[in-house]
């Protein structure tokens, strides 16, 4: 009887023992990495997780996130195209130059994408008008003229410009570039500051990277002269310039325009060109009637340049012709600023 009972208990005991062994094995597999199968099956404890970080980006933390991203993209792009130091011809005769200059041929990135090269000379970057237009997506046609100037037609707007000229014309505007229009490698070029004024796109030169970054978000042609110049301002300013300074050096004609505009901006005088011109007891041509004479083309040009910011007499508010009137009060009460032709200018 006892033997039968033992035989009946053997099988259940074996089952219990196997279950215990399987449970222990499962516990070991859950707590020991040795039994993990494959990389995906192992999850390290939180304190063992190594944080993965990107290398620091050398950008200005004060910039907005989008600006930082754009700056970073430009820096990454700049590292892929290296600047080159070159010797270039100065002037339009590249085949037989009388002067050369050493410059850096720097990459230009438009909206973060490499678009071409510019000339970096004395920390100023120059690009030709056709090249720059192509970079930012403007159509540009070039037509040399017999007088040595070049006419560019950019999206229907005309730009007339000549090498070494200090005055050029763009979209009906008369503009003044004091240092004169430069030329490199046989083509007219302009500084980035002027290209930005003409075409709107923001252009920045990073001297440390030797690369130019152009943002086309504000791209647009210079406002045309018809809408930029107030009709009556040009009308009266050109007439007072002609009446007062016809026959004087061109800089003196601009100086008369400067005096009128300085008065407009002064609290001591009226607020418009017409009111300043006709203020009682101020300008002799008003009383003589010569203010109504048709102005010369030079007088009109001087008026536009004065409005554009060309200034030959600083903050002068007065001018006289000493040979035609007594200048004693002016000399004793005011500061002499400039003498141009027959006119002396005072502030």
What is the residue extent of each domain of the chain? Answer: 65-225, 229-346
CATH code of the domain occupying 229-346: 1.10.10.2520
Name the pLDDT band for 37 (thresholds 50, 70, 90).
very low
Q: Are 224 and 171 in contact (CB under 8 A)?
A: yes
- The torsion of the CA quartet 233, 235, 238, 239, rounded to 10 degrees, works out to -120
The conformation of residue 90, written as its DSSP 8-state character, comes to B
Name the pLDDT band for 83 (thresholds 50, 70, 90).
confident
pLDDT at residue number 147: 87
State the average pLDDT over residues 73-88: 71
pTM of the model: 0.74
Name the pLDDT band for 25 (thresholds 50, 70, 90).
very low
State the average pLDDT over residues 315-321: 96
Name the pLDDT band for 66 (thresholds 50, 70, 90).
low
Q: Are 230 and 272 in contact (CB under 8 A)?
A: no
Name the pLDDT band for 48 (thresholds 50, 70, 90).
very low
- What's the chain's average pLDDT? 84
Nearest to 135 by CA among 157, 107, 168: 107
Predicted confidence (pLDDT) per residue in 158-210, tens digit: 999 999 999 999 999 999 999 999 999 999 999 999 999 999 999 999 998 89
Cα–Cα distance list, 300 to 52, 128, 164, 294, 308 (Å): 67, 29, 22, 10, 12
Rounded distance between C-alpha atoms, residue 273 and residue 262, angstroms: 10
Angle (CA) 35 40 46, round 5°: 85
Q: Tell me: pLDDT of 45 over 70.
A: no
**Residue scoring higher pLDDT (208 or 234):** 234
pLDDT at residue number 71: 56
pLDDT at residue number 215: 97
Q: Are 211 and 74 in contact (CB under 8 A)?
A: yes
Overall CATH class of domain 65-225: alpha beta
**Residue scoring higher pLDDT (111 or 81):** 111
Name the pLDDT band for 47 (thresholds 50, 70, 90).
very low
Rounded distance between C-alpha atoms, residue 282 and residue 273, angstroms: 13
Q: Are 51 and 84 in contact (CB under 8 A)?
A: no
pLDDT at residue number 211: 93
State the average pLDDT over residues 146-156: 94
Q: Reduce the secondary structure of 127-178 to three states and give it as a string.
A: EEHHHHHHHHCCCEEEEECCCCEEEEEECCEEEEEECCCCEEEECCEEEECC
């Amino acid at each position: 009887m006892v033997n039968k009972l033992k035989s009946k208990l053997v099988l259940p005991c074996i089952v219990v023992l196997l279950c215990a062994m399987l449970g222990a094995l499962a516990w070991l597999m859950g707590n020991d990495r040795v039994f993990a199968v494959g990389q995906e099956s192992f999850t390290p404890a939180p304190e063992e997780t190594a944080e993965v970080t990107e290398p620091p980006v050398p950008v200005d933390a004060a910039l907005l996130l989008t600006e930082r991203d754009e700056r970073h993209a430009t820096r990454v792009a700049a590292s892929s195209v290296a600047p080159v130091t070159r010797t270039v011809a100065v002037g339009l005769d590249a085949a037989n130059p009388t002067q050369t200059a050493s410059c850096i041929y720097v990459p230009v990135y438009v909206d973060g994408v490499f678009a071409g090269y510019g000339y970096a000379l004395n920390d100023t970057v120059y690009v030709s008008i056709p090249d720059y237009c192509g970079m930012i997506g403007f159509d540009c046609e070039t037509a040399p003229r017999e007088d040595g100037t070049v006419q560019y037609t950019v999206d229907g707007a005309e730009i007339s410009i000549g090498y070494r000229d200090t005055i050029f014309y763009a979209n009906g505007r008369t503009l003044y570039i004091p240092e004169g229009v430069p030329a490199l490698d046989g083509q007219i070029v302009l500084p980035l500051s002027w290209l930005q004024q003409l075409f709107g796109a923001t252009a920045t030169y990073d001297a440390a990277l030797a690369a130019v970054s152009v943002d086309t978000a504000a791209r647009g042609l210079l406002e045309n002269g018809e809408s930029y110049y107030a009709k009556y301002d040009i009308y009266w300013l050109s007439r007072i310039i002609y009446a007062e300074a016809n026959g004087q050096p061109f800089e003196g004609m601009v100086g008369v325009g400067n005096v009128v505009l300085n008065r407009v901006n002064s609290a001591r005088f009226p607020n418009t060109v017409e009111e300043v011109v006709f203020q009682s007891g101020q300008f002799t041509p008003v009383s003589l009637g010569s203010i109504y004479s048709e102005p010369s083309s030079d007088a009109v040009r001087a008026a536009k340049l004065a409005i554009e910011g060309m200034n030959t007499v600083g903050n002068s508010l007065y001018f006289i012709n000493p040979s035609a009137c007594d200048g004693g009060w002016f000399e004793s009460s005011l500061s002499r600023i400039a003498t141009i032709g027959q006119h002396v200018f005072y502030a």
